[in-house]
Amino acid sequence: MRFAELVLRFEKHLRGTMNLKSKDVKDYFIYNTLAMECFQAANTLMRRDT
C-alpha cells in the first residue's frame, strides 16, 4: 500500500512538471517551481523505505 501511495505522489509531481514545461520558462518563479517539482518527484521515490 505504501508503495502505491509513493507512485501516486511521484505521478502528481511529474504531472506538475509536465504542466510547467508548457509555460513560458523565462520567469524565475517558473524555474524554481519546476526544480521543486522535479526534486519532490525524485525525493518521493528515494524515501520509499522510510
Measured distance CA(47)–CA(43) in Å, rounded: 6
Contact (CB, 8 A) for 4 and 43: no
Look at residue 43 in the predicted model and tell me its pLDDT.
Answer: 82
Look at residue 39 in the predicted model and tell me its pLDDT.
Answer: 83
Q: Provide the whole-model pTM.
A: 0.50
Look at residue 42 in the predicted model and tell me its pLDDT.
Answer: 80
Look at residue 50 in the predicted model and tell me its pLDDT.
Answer: 52
Q: Which residues of 18-45 are buried (b: 16+ CB within 10 A; e: fewer)?
A: eebeeeeeeeeeeeebbeebeebbeebe
For 1-50, write each residue's pLDDT tens digit: 678 888 888 888 788 778 877 777 667 787 788 788 888 878 877 776 55
